[in-house]
Amino acid sequence: MPSLGVLYVAAVLEQRGHPVSVLDAHARGMSVERIAEHVRGEAPDIFGITVTSENRLDAFSVARAVKRAHPAAFVVVGGPHCFFTDHDTLSHVPEIDAVVRGEGEFTMLELVEALGAGHDLRNVAGLTFRDGARIVQNGPRALIPDLDALPDPARNLIRMDDYRTLMEVPGKGWLPATNVMTSRGCPFQCNFCATPKNWGRRVRGRSPAKVVAEVEMLVNTYGARVIWFYDDTFNYSPPRLEAICRMLIERKLPIHWFAEVRVDMLTRPLFELMVQAGLYHVGFGIESACERICREIIRKQATLRQAEDVITWANELGVTANPFFIFSHPTETYAEATETLRYAKSLRGRSRCSLAILHVYPGTELHQRALAEGKIPADFSWTTPNDPRILELPEAQGRIPLYKDRLSWYQIARLMFALNESSKKVSLREKIAKVLRNPRAINNAPIYGVMLVAFLVTKLERALGERAVAPVDAFLARFL
């Protein structure tokens, strides 16, 4: 789907009269070489790149290629990866001239105007830049207090047809879809989440009228029939969400929508109103079914009982419930992880479970813990590919460090495969084929070998039953 962060920045620049274009290279299937050719032809004064922790290495490759193609271009990066990695990025990627920390709209605007006027970049809040051999980190930029002050994302600068995004709505088939972000921030403090660090603990939301007006425009202008609300917590303010739903109902917009919510901030009447307004698929984090892990490690306030209520409501009202689970938390034992697995399996037929191994993002509490425990070396650089000192499974989990504590790889794999067998959401054959096709997977051959054994045991368990496989499973769990 379109990169809303990039489009918001572009909209602010365009609003102030600056000539700006957006190169949606991913949607167009452009290689780094093709991006470089484009830059040679366009010769932009400034080239900006959005960076996530997962795509960071690709983004750095693009930055290097852009600088080679057009050395005069001022290359700047921003995005969720950059808030805590500005110095690391500039220290190791000399082709990047500056890093935008945090919200980028007005930092980029001031950077463009400062460069155009030849002013000192030290006056641009939220910017870290290279000044000769020195790296200068300016003071932080205050968060935008009123998101209604921002123009809508500049979708006019991209070819929406390049995305051709479809989402399946039960009973309706595959419908054209796009994304909307209505708020920024998260008031909660889960140990693995970077959102409060990047967007702030105080949630700022666009007004219901602005939200519905953007949705209506997407329906009328681009033919959208499904909206993916990109908010971290769509129901952070129940009265605001109620107003949005009532306006959607009044406008009789022909849409269905997906959103992620907090189960402890949801009531049955509000959920029914959301369904009436078009909700067809709802996501929410459970993370672990073990109370100790939730309370002491993750510091999650929502309860399993509240999640169970939402799953029940969703089933009664014809909505797909999509709980998220994570394995390999700090201090998590196999018995505790199995408790989560048993609960997730109990949801078969009632929900679509999503799962992952715990990821480590820069600046989070989990990142600090991983550093203190030596799981991430003190001199680790996020710019280094294939650092053997960290745990990464790029082919299976993306380019992101994984946190592994008490669980063995065999145990982690057994948990993942068993839940996949239960949910049927992910094709294990596709994942295995992806690993086999990637020559870099040889770096993790021992881990993938263990995972293959776990996969075969899972298939055997499905054929023969848990009791028949238990002795073999216990033996392998002890030595793998």
Q: What are all long-range contacts of 425-434, with beta carbons under 8 Å and residues at least 24 apart?
A: 425/352, 425/353, 425/354, 428/455, 431/395, 431/396, 434/395, 434/396
Residue 242 in this model has a pLDDT that exceeds 90 = yes
At residue 439, the pLDDT reads: 57
The residue written with tokens 């997407």 in the block is: 218
SS3 41: helix
Residue 183 in this model has a pLDDT that exceeds 90 = yes
Out of 3.30.420.40, 3.40.50.280, 3.40.50.2000, 3.20.20.80, select the CATH number for domain 4-137.
Answer: 3.40.50.280
Cα–Cα distances in angstroms (integers) from residue 413 to residues 42, 397, 451, in the given order: 48, 12, 5
| 214-237 average pLDDT score | 96
At residue 53, the pLDDT reads: 94
How many angstroms separate the CA atoms of 26 and 262, rounded? 31
The residue written with tokens 């290629």 in the block is: 65
At residue 476, the pLDDT reads: 87
Counting residues of the chain whose pLDDT is more than 90, the rounded percentage is: 77
Residue 469 in this model has a pLDDT that exceeds 50 = yes
Domain ranges of the chain: 4-137, 409-417+424-480
At residue 438, the pLDDT reads: 64
- The string of pLDDT tens digits covering residues 332-385 is 999 999 999 999 999 999 999 998 999 999 999 999 999 999 999 999 999 999
How would DSSP label each residue in 1-31? Answer: ---HHHHHHHHHHHHTT-------TTTTT--
What does pLDDT average to over the chain? Answer: 92
Residue 424 in this model has a pLDDT that exceeds 50 = no
Cα–Cα distances in angstroms (integers) from residue 157 to residues 19, 24, 36, in the given order: 11, 9, 20
- The string of pLDDT tens digits covering residues 381-421 is 999 998 989 998 887 788 899 999 999 999 999 998 887 75
At residue 423, the pLDDT reads: 47
How many angstroms separate the CA atoms of 381 and 186, rounded? 27
